[in-house]
């Protein structure tokens, strides 16, 4: 049986090979007599799962040795609080608002520090990225936050800003929840990166944090111990019980990514998929994507039917063809195709065929 293609923005489709392997290992992991969710996080079996996941991810993302990889919980939204609790020192942090997620981050930070808006593209409908040269940075921000891929608005930084070149010494914080592991990261420009797992890495419940060593030890006294980066790092992400099953599945995804040829090969595939889909939208008379071409997301492709009365028929026809979860986010409407790493090229091709057929029947 072939499975439908699932375009969900998150939790999102998983590589089928990973699901098959997890099913086979559900009752008995590697002859241990236990399923992974039944294991002690401090036992040797899970110790091996953790060590391999950490090493594989470090290799895939080419994370330098002066950064810690932390497996946390709470998702991207919890990090919106955990980052200022750890990095702001209660002073000022700068935010570049390019869509729904960076706006949420700026709002949450206000509970812990002074949140300064360095740029905001809302007036243009969040369809562009502001040139860093024009950002109104604070004199000495504790950090500068961006969302490097806006999942809802479909806007992606194809190059991370170089804060040093702007005369700013502050660490750059990136929320890379929805494009982590889809492309390389220039760690020389990053102080901290965080992302929920449920878009590109594995099941919800796991949150990845990659943090430079010198940023570990500046948490506010009110920071909960379980959310202190230093405490989590000092305990190899096992200060409290980590999301063990989600870490195991993410570990299987990392091995799958390595089998695909690593991040460079995965990125090439992501570029091919996104190019095909945007071309199909741009050359049609029924569909439109309003994001500037230089900052269109390779992962989340929002689009509108120019005749919105056709929306329900479009979605029903898609479902009938095994193309699932194409409805856009409720805050922006329209459609959205999320084409993360696990979406095969054939899935994008099937979507494009449907776009053309539906247009031919309704255009």
Ligand X SMILES: *Cc1c(COP(=O)(O)O)cnc(C)c1O
Residue ranges binding ligand X (CB under 6 A): 10, 75-77, 101, 147, 151, 175, 177-178, 196, 199
**Number of Cα atoms under 13 Å in the Cβ half of residue 143:** 30
Q: Which one, 81 or 263, has the nearer CB to ligand X?
A: 81
Q: Which one, 77 or 310, has the nearer CB to ligand X?
A: 77
Minimal distance in Å, beta carbon 108 to ligand X? 11
Active site residue 175: yes
Nearest to 234 by CA among 219, 248, 217, 251: 217
Q: CA 31 to CA 52: how far, in whole Å?
A: 18
Minimal distance in Å, beta carbon 105 to ligand X? 8
Active site residue 44: no
Phi-psi bin for 76: left (phi > 0), alpha (psi -120 to 50), beta? Answer: alpha
Nearest to 263 by CA among 72, 32, 27, 59: 59
Minimal distance in Å, beta carbon 97 to ligand X? 13
Q: Find the largest Cα–Cα distance for the chain.
A: 62
Minimal distance in Å, beta carbon 300 to ligand X? 8
Helix-then-strand count for the chain, H and E: 9, 14
Q: Which one, 77 or 350, has the nearer CB to ligand X?
A: 77
Catalytic residue among 29, 101, 135, 256: 101
Listed in sequence order, the residues at least 6 apart from 167 whose beta carbon sits closer than 8 Å to its beta carbon are none
Catalytic residue among 29, 175, 256, 327: 175
**DSSP secondary structure code for residue 164 in this structure:** G
Q: Which one, 194 or 314, has the nearer CB to ligand X?
A: 194
Minimal distance in Å, beta carbon 249 to ligand X? 15
**DSSP secondary structure code for residue 361 in this structure:** H
Q: Which one, 77 or 315, has the nearer CB to ligand X?
A: 77
Copy the structure tokens of residue 102.
């960076």
Q: What are the distances in angstroms from CA 188 to CA 67, 161, 164, 171, 193?
A: 11, 11, 10, 10, 12
Q: At what angle do helices 44-60 and 244-259 cross, to 10 degrees?
A: 40
Q: CA 118 to CA 141: how far, in whole Å?
A: 10
Minimal distance in Å, beta carbon 325 to ligand X? 14
Minimal distance in Å, beta carbon 151 to ligand X? 3
Q: Which one, 34 or 77, has the nearer CB to ligand X?
A: 77
Q: Which one, 121 or 151, has the nearer CB to ligand X?
A: 151
Q: Is 337 helix (H, G, I), strand (E, B) or coil?
A: strand
Please identify the residue of the shown chain whose CB is closest to the bound ligand X.
75
Active site residue 293: no
CA 289 from centroid of its chain's CA atoms:
21
Q: Is 36 helix (H, G, I), strand (E, B) or coil?
A: helix
Q: Is 338 helix (H, G, I), strand (E, B) or coil?
A: strand
**What's the N-to-C CA distance of the chain in angstroms?**
33
Catalytic residue among 29, 135, 199, 230: 199
Catalytic residue set: 101, 175, 199
């Amino acid at each position: 049986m072939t499975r439908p293609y699932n375009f969900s923005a998150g939790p999102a489709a998983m590589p089928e090979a990973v699901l098959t392997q997890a099913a086979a290992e559900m009752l008995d992991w590697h002859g241990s007599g236990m399923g992974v969710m039944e294991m002690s996080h401090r036992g040797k079996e899970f110790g091996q799962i953790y060590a391999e996941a950490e090493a594989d991810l470090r290799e895939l993302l080419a994370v330098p040795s002066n950064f810690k990889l932390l497996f946390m919980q709470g998702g991207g939204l919890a990090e919106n609080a955990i980052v200022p609790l750890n990095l702001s020192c209660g002073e000022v942090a700068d935010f570049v608002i390019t869509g729904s997620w960076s706006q949420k981050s700026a709002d949450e930070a206000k509970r812990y520090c002074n949140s300064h808006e360095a740029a905001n593209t809302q007036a243009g409908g969040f369809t562009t990225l502001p040139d860093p040269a024009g950002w109104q940075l604070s004199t000495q921000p504790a950090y500068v936050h961006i969302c490097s891929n806006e999942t809802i608005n479909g806007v992606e930084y194809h190059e991370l800003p170089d804060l040093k070149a702007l005369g700013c010494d502050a660490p750059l914080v990136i929320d890379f929840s929805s494009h982590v592991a889809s492309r390389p990261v220039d760690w020389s420009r990053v102080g901290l990166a965080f992302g929920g797992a449920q878009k590109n890495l594995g099941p919800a419940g796991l949150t990845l944090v990659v943090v430079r060593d010198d940023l570990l030890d500046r948490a506010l006294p009110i920071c909960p111990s379980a959310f202190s980066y230093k405490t989590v790092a000092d305990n190899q992400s096992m200060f409290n019980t980590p999301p063990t099953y989600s870490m195991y599945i993410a570990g299987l995804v990392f091995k799958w990514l390595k089998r695909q040829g690593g991040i460079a090969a995965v990125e090439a595939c992501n570029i091919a998929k996104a190019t095909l889909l945007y071309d199909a939208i741009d050359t049609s008379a029924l569909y439109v994507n309003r994001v500037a071409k230089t900052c269109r997301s390779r992962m989340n492709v929002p689009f509108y039917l120019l005749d919105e009365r056709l929306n329900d028929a479009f979605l029903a026809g898609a479902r009938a063809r095994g193309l699932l979860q194409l409805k856009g986010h409720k805050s922006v409407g329209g459609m959205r195709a999320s084409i993360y790493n696990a979406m095969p090229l054939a899935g994008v091709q099937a979507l494009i065929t449907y776009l053309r057929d539906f247009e031919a029947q309704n255009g």
